[in-house]
Amino acid sequence: MLKSHMAEESASTPEMLRTQAVRWQQEAAQVRVLAAKRPTTVLLGRGSSGNVCSFAAYLFALQTGRQPIEFRPWLTTQALPEADWRDAVVYAFSYSGKSTDIAASAEWLGARGALVVAISQAQANSDAHLLKPAQHLIHLGCGPEQAVPATKSVIAQLFVAAALAGYDISLAAEQCADCMVQIEAHDVPASLATFLAGARTVTWLARGPSLGGALEAALKMQESVGIPAFGYSTAEYLHGPIAAASPADRVVLFTASDEPMETKQAVAAALLARGVPFLCLGCAATPDAQLPLPYPEARWARTAILAYIAQRTCAVLAQRVGIDPDVHPALRKITQTL
């Protein structure tokens, strides 16, 4: 069977990181100067880009001590009292730049004084909806994506978000690229695909910034191989979701030795008690890691590793069961929300 576009596009991620990260860093630094006197951070995105926003919310909060606003586009459709957003910078994430509700929200916020920055693959001279209200554009430069499931563009957005939050991404990008090559060399996606095969549902658990990676991993399973999947913070899982887990399900815990171990151990014990098969992805120093992974030094950058592993695993699963992840009768690459 021929490899899918999804498989080929995700496989190109390490090279993208090596060639684009320095530019992302430079352009993000320019934007940060313009945004320096705007204490309110607003994050806009849907689907995979929305998961990037969840990741970015952690990073901005860790750097500034202020919780960013993950803006809900429905707000702009309501009759509201006039509001002043001149203290805000809006980071609008959209691979295509054609998500209508994201563009409409960016326009609404910009009209009320916000500085709007688009993070997109759309070219500056294109007719993409998002570029009209944007005062600035950071071009992803990740190349075209033909598969419906977003892959390399998600990783690109994660790194741009980190740079906008004030993190140095250059070394992390090189380390992540090296880790991804090692992950392929050790057939980690194939091993994980074998563990997940036949699952009724799959739950991905992670903490901190990597929650965005867990959410993205769940979305990839849903849209590429049609397996019901969920992403949760490890800290939230025992607050209800575990009650739905059974031996027919699979759980993937993504962790590292420098994260709180008590919660992970409590989740593992609860899963064992319920007979739910689970697998721990961690670094070589992580206790009980069934699939030890190479990790970049920066904790935030591990989110990209989780997203990459999920993308590659879904591509393997799809190929094994004869599903074409590039197309879906109910999905389109560009989703327009009315």
State pLDDT tens for residues 172-191: 999 999 999 999 999 999 99
In whole angstroms, what is the distance from residue 116 CA to residue 124 CA?
A: 14
pLDDT at 333: 46
Q: Looking at the predicted structure, is the pLDDT value of residue 146 above 50?
A: yes
In whole angstroms, what is the distance from residue 88 CA to residue 69 CA?
A: 10
Q: Looking at the predicted structure, is the pLDDT value of residue 145 above 80?
A: yes
* Strand-pair category, 202-206 with 250-254: parallel
Give the DSSP H or E segment for 163: helix 152-165
In whole angstroms, what is the distance from residue 153 CA to residue 157 CA?
A: 6
Q: How does pLDDT run across 91-118, given as a tens digit for each residue?
A: 999 999 999 999 999 999 999 999 999 9
Residue found by looking up tokens 């992974």 in the block: 293
Q: Looking at the predicted structure, is the pLDDT value of residue 285 above 80?
A: no
Residues in the chain: 338
C-beta separation of 98 from 128 below 8 A: yes
CA 179 → CA 27, 98, 147, 185, distances in Å?
25, 33, 24, 10
Closest CA to 255 of 246, 244, 266, 245: 266
pLDDT at 226: 93
Q: What is the dihedral of CA 40, 166, 36, 95, to 10 degrees?
A: -60
Closest CA to 141 of 14, 23, 32: 23
Q: Is the dihedral of CA 3, 123, 305, 193 positive or negative?
A: negative
Residue 158 tokens read as 């994660």
Closest CA to 306 of 120, 158, 166, 91: 158
Report the chain's mean pLDDT, rounded to a whole number: 93
Q: What strands lie across the sheet with 69-70, from one edge to the other?
A: 69-70, 40-44, 88-93, 115-120, 136-139
pLDDT at 3: 82
DSSP state of 148: S
177, HSE (Cβ side, Cα atoms, 13 Å): 18
Q: Is the dihedral of CA 213, 215, 218, 224 positive or negative?
A: negative
Domains of the chain, CATH where assigned: 5-171 (3.40.50.10490), 177-321 (3.40.50.10490)
The residues, ordered by sequence, that sit 6+ positions from 105 with a Cβ below 8 Å of its Cβ are 44, 71, 73, 75, 76, 92
Q: How does pLDDT run across 23-57, given as a tens digit for each residue?
A: 999 999 999 999 999 999 999 999 999 999 999 99
In whole angstroms, what is the distance from residue 97 CA to residue 203 CA?
A: 30
Q: Report the percentage of the chain scoring pLDDT > 70.
A: 96
C-beta separation of 252 from 225 below 8 A: no
